[in-house]
Structure 1
């Protein structure tokens, strides 16, 4: 039986790989993709998502635009951890794919998610891999929809170090109030895939050669996008490895297919919303005498071999 999945994305390069893996793997039913402002503004995340689905022959998957701004901080986020258009810009604004032939649905992501979760007859797995603005809005509008969720798998947060500040990972930093709302929403099963894990599952240039060699649209597209990520990480010295980069969001989809790709432990996690130097930090109580009930299974490690094997098999 296939697993019904809804992806919530801010499509840049790693979201694109996650979308392709979810859309093409036979064990997943990608019912829809919702978009949110994050890596690029909402119009671009939506356009990029449509480009990806068209490129791999899945224009049938509906795309619903979500929030164009954080839930509480209009005008936020501020300066990013890389300058747009620089050698460290791993996303760009528009992905290097043909302009979409299809259009996004008129129904907003919030309306779509509320209706779907209220009426579904089968559990839904929700995978948000961008800022949590749309998801927080849905849960605030109707907290009972959480009962329709088999699992929520979030790409976000970090323990040892962030990527946009020393404390914070981008998705949580870009809308810290939304992240705090979702983490405290009492979700029955929440898996948090952190930077600590995704930085352990690096994809190399040699892997990209193999992906390109598949000769398929998805293989070539993944190779091109991941190569751009490797170039950007190399320029910014963002990982302690040569010729490799994390593909954060794809790890979340890999986990749905092969759970052994990550190693998790139950942790109580809160999100800092007030600290001037720590806003967006995922505060994880890892003490032996930790207080508070665990609210997430948190991934601190991941396997590159499992991720790459999945990409190669799905994109072939």
Structure 2
């Protein structure tokens, strides 16, 4: 049976690859896409998501726009220096125009309607700030039982990429991230940048994508600004497909190796704001410290077959 999936996203180059990965996978029932502020403002992320779906020939997939800002404090920094001024290396307009009108009710309304109508529990893959998902769970706790799991791209175990402590998606709305990852009794998988960086793809991989056909050519054409950034971050010609790694796990559970840990999200206004604090001490030590109150636990992705993962994503993106 196909995996019923909803993607919540802020495209973003790696988001575009992640949307295409799900949209082109025959073993996925892509129920809908919701958008959120993040890499660029909400208007741009929403248009980008709709254009990527049009590229993939998926006019059947509804799209709704969600939160334009964080729950509490303003977002101080976008990621246009990574993804380009429009989120897609300045090349969003080169994609096909959207083939379907935007859903009128907004992201939370679409999420609720899709979950309520689903015949089986649905996987949600939030690959941007977690604002929409926090709002959903706060306002509609009755839908929790319709969620199979939430596969989040975010966080860093050893540090961040936006600050020394925080990864961009979590840093953009720490209060929302804490609500989803710490407070809610919904199964979560966290795919941190520690692992996604290890899954980076090189220029040869991108060349194979570009040579595969019109969709692959169009996706590869979105990468110049992103490639320029990661040339500095990695020290070689390649890009990090953060969000596609998380969506790969959403599509094929177990493609990433996970370990269960208690987690906390730093919501202070100090230099550690947005940090994900994963308690990796031995269980015996944690038990002594926790006493009678055990914190919530999250499945944290820690490893994968790197070549197998890269091959899986490339195969799905080129099969069209």
TM-score by length of 2: 0.90
1:238 to 213, 233, 258: 233
1:286 aligns with 2:288: no
Aligned match for 2:241, one of 225, 247, 260: 247
Structure 1 distance, partners of 2:146, 2:50, is: 27
* Structure-1 residue corresponding to 2:168: 170
Residue 77 of structure 1 is aligned with which of 75, 78, 99?
75
2:14/2:241 contact within 8 Å kept: yes
Shift of 1:192: 0.4
Give the match's secondary structure for 1:178.
helix
Structure 2: distance between partners of 1:7 and 1:57: 17
Distance 1:279 1:272, change over 3 A: same
Question: Which residue of 1 is the match for residue 309 of structure 2?
Answer: 307
Distance 1:307 1:229, change over 3 A: farther
Q: Which secondary structure state, in structure 1, belongs to the residue aligned with residue 16 of structure 2? A: helix
Tell me, yes or no, if the aligned pair for 1:150 and 1:189 is still in contact at 8 Å: yes
How does 1:1-316 map onto structure 2 within 5 Å? Answer: 1-73=1-73, 76-80=74-78, 83=81, 91-92=88-89, 95=92, 96-215=94-213, 217-234=214-231, 237-239=232-234, 241-288=235-282, 289-290=285-286, 291=290, 292-314=294-316, 315-316=318-319
Tell me: CA distance 1:85–1:281, structure 2 relative to 1, closer, same or farther (3 Å).
Answer: closer
- Aligned mates of 1:121, 1:258 — CA distance in 2: 20
Deviation at 1:112, TM superposition (A): 1.4
Offset of 1:50 from its aligned partner? 0.8
CA distance in 1, matches of 2:88, 2:229: 9
Instruction: Quote the Cα distance in structure 1 between the aligned partners of 2:206 and 2:178.
Output: 36
Structure 2: which 5+ runs fail to align?
Answer: none
Q: Any conservation in 1 of the 2:40–2:79 contact (CA below 8 Å)?
A: no
Q: CA deviation at 1:118?
A: 3.3
Distance 2:83 2:128 in 1: 20
Deviations 1:38-84 (A, max 9, x none): 111111111001110111211221101111111112xx211346647
- Over the aligned positions, Cα root-mean-square deviation in angstroms equals 2.2
Deviation at 1:119, TM superposition (A): 4.0
CA contact (8 A) 2:5 2:31 kept: yes
How far apart are residue 259 of structure 1 and its match? 3.9
3-state SS of 1:225 partner: coil
The answer (yes or no) to whether the contact 2:89–2:222 under 8 Å persists in 1 is no
**Matched pairs, number:** 309
Distance 1:94 1:102 in 2: 20
Contact 2:5 2:32 in 1 (8 A): yes
Counterpart secondary structure, 1:238: helix
Give how far 1:228 is off: 4.1
Q: What are structure 1's unaligned runs of at least 5 residues? A: none
Q: Give the distance between the partners of 1:86 and 1:64, measured in 2 at CA.
A: 23
**How far has the Cα of 1:86 moved from its partner?**
7.0
Distance in 1 (CA, whole Å) between partners of 2:149 and 2:42 is 25
What is the alpha-carbon distance in structure 2 between the residues aligned to residue 123 and residue 254 of structure 1?
18
